[in-house]
Structure 1
């Protein structure tokens, strides 16, 4: 049972004891413990797998109309911000290698209520990300069916609810979530192995796209480079931040990683480097091969570009098939990430006990997998993809900001902690990370913030009606009071 390190100034800000968190993560396997089975390569592939997917296979159709060819600058800016944050994640995740990512870190540094709200932001982030990626997968799956068999799933069954009433459900997206659910029910080790295979395939497919797209490169397509100037480059930031979810996804597996002090930093750095390089070269090849005007509203964009460049269907078919495999892995990891957030919150009493249960045979929180899959499947079934990107970005930015702040706080409050990786330059990097995240957050539309605000109001209602009184820290305080009588 975890207790506050010091008597908290306010019950809402009581903190978990880091030493007890670490001891619990190393505890005997049981109904509330996960098992360390993943190495550096598998964890790095988790990060790459959760990041390279819908982001590059679909997001160009959303960002190029805003930024023009200067979308490459946007990718670079987001990559720099992600790199700064990755350094912060490397220190914190290697210091506190437990499930729950930013939720668990903030519980040790900021207190219970802030951590709880971060947890709800992460639940929204991973849930909406899973829905967005599965919707993007459905588009490529439909394109692949059309190319190979000459058939398409009717729009009414593959587009979700549309404003004109023509859409009913996105059936392919629901099927994908169901497949991810079945794989995750088999356990984390099997899921990580399957993901690693899919990631290698997707990187090969993207490399093929770059090579073929460059054969149709026209310098005129890069002019004008930034048609909307700085405002256009900034407007593309939220959708691209959606694609860097993988940094946080690595840390959700902190309790299932071998030798986390070394494994997590290596996996985080490797994932960010691979992702940023691939994003830049794919974006360069895409905007060089196709004029800006064609990107807007373009489904299965990379496949369409290759069809135009080569004049034959086979390369496009390969890209569509690669996207189907690629985006499967993204959805798999986002579902996985949310189950581990729920697990951590359930173990802390923030959610009902069912969320902390681990299946004895698969060593996986199977009830979480079923709950998360149902939640994501409903979103994917009815919500169009363009409504989902910004919601994910807010959750990602919240996690990035909290992790960066936690580095600064724990440097002051717990300098004695053993750190597998230690940031250079003192607080400079986390401060730059926080400033960058706040700038990125300022570019997100007001309507999205209103949606998140309503979500957090619901979270507060649940907190004061249930979570505050069922928190393990509340139980500890009551036990202390009883013992003192």
Structure 2
């Protein structure tokens, strides 16, 4: 067997990925049934979640009305990364997203570490959002019917309850959709994305009636650029989710065209919506009113119209929004495991698909059970922050991968190329690292521990089960290495 370092540096040739996924032959294990609209819905659905409904109460106290600039900064950093994703997605359209990109550029060991980051991102995010869904269900029931679920059935044990039942119900509903097939899941997600966009457009239209230019003064607070930067680091995580488009690489129709295009359209839609919401919000009430404002956009609309019905409307919007985010998160989790299983990095059970629906049913059920346990019984506020650093690590890997693949495979067919290369990926890396530097030290320590566990898993299991292990010489030839 090769040494640990030799194994960790094994790289999977793009030609091998193309053959496995049926990119040029039309074969592959999964059904290519998601069109451009479905891909855009995955990008928007996985990105616009509860964050925009409440993030302003955390960001505006730091930046004031200049929070609009903070949104634009966050969008630029996310956009730079999206451009890098678009190039790799167009060149290597595969289910594994940045895990597969790392495998072809940085090697097997780094790929397992990135895979662990993605599992953390998608799995814990799904659990966290389902817990938030439970809270909004209770808010809607209270506003609409003056009724709430018993605390014992809507909170984890450490929060004074027995089990968070609504969160588990949401996981079950998402699971049923996913095992029926990706095309049906994509249609339902597209409908939910349409509704959540209508809710936010409704906020902009109604909230603009209360716009007062005096609320925009002073535009910059005494915190200056530091406050704007801090707000941008908080806001950035409302853009996380665009990589869900890349995770659909093997199920996309005409992937070389549609994946890059879907990433760009998703980013544009999300940015326009976020900036419009932020502009209306800071114009509708003074900066000081945002601090400790728990109901976010609902409070703003209630002040504008002088009625409580916006709270109910926004609760419905949040319920639909979170359902969509949870569905995309679970989808992304299963596809990462699918790709890792095919490569031998995790158990073969995650690679089995139903012959009729071509959906990885066993994979989905296992993921659902784990996420349901997290959501139903464990408070996960801290773990939610862990998803952010995992995502940023994946972003850095993708941007590095663009540079490496340009050097190693300049002849590779690319349906999209990042503009201003190599400046764009370098700025993307710098932006992600800057945001990582804004996180709490304890988050970084735990993240390092998580990646270390992934490398232990690689040493004890994945290295010996790697599908590249038995074919390393021929694959090295394909890869252009001696």
**TM-score normalised by structure 1 residue count:** 0.91
Unaligned runs of 5+ in 1: 481-485
Q: Contact between 2:74 and 2:233, CA under 8 Å: does it hold in 1? A: no
Q: Distance in 2 between matches of 1:265 and 1:240?
A: 24
Cross-structure match for 2:254: 259
Q: How far did 1:479 drift?
A: 10
Worse-matched range after superposition: 239-248 or 267-276: 239-248
Residues 274-353 of structure 1 aligned to structure 2 (within 5 Å):
274-353=269-348
1:116–1:187 distance in 2 versus 1, CA, 3 Å: same
Matched, 1:194 2:179: no
Q: Distance in 1 between matches of 2:98 and 2:298?
A: 36
Q: How far did 1:420 drift?
A: 0.9
Indicate which of 343, 347, 354 corresponds to 2:349: 354
Residue-by-residue CA offset, 1:115-151 (whole Å, 9 max, x unaligned): 1100000000111221222222222222111111011
Q: Distance in 1 between matches of 2:365 and 2:71?
A: 34
Give the superposed CA RMSD: 2.5
Secondary structure of the structure 2 residue equivalent to 1:236: helix
1:114–1:434 distance in 2 versus 1, CA, 3 Å: same
Q: Distance in 1 between matches of 2:410 and 2:473?
A: 30
Cross-structure match for 2:122: 126
Residue-by-residue CA offset, 1:14-65 (whole Å, 9 max, x unaligned): 00011111111107899x7111111111101110111112121233333334
Residue-by-residue CA offset, 1:308-359 (whole Å, 9 max, x unaligned): 2212233332222122112211110011001100100011000011111111
Cross-structure match for 2:39: 43
Indicate which of 149, 160, 163 corresponds to 1:166: 160
Q: Contact between 1:355 and 1:365, CA under 8 Å: does it hold in 2? A: yes
**Displacement over 6 Å in runs of 4+:** 27-30
Secondary structure of the structure 2 residue equivalent to 1:369: helix
Q: Distance in 2 between matches of 1:299 and 1:139?
A: 13
1:371–1:113 distance in 2 versus 1, CA, 3 Å: same
Q: Contact between 1:234 and 1:443, CA under 8 Å: does it hold in 2? A: no
Q: Distance in 2 between matches of 1:314 and 1:371?
A: 40
Q: Distance in 1 between matches of 2:225 and 2:113?
A: 33
Secondary structure of the structure 1 residue equivalent to 2:410: coil
Matched, 1:381 2:376: yes
Indicate which of 421, 424, 440 corresponds to 1:445: 440
Q: Contact between 1:8 and 1:14, CA under 8 Å: does it hold in 2? A: no
1:58–1:381 distance in 2 versus 1, CA, 3 Å: farther
Q: Distance in 2 between matches of 1:383 and 1:309?
A: 38
Residues 72-83 of structure 1 aligned to structure 2 (within 5 Å):
72-83=68-79
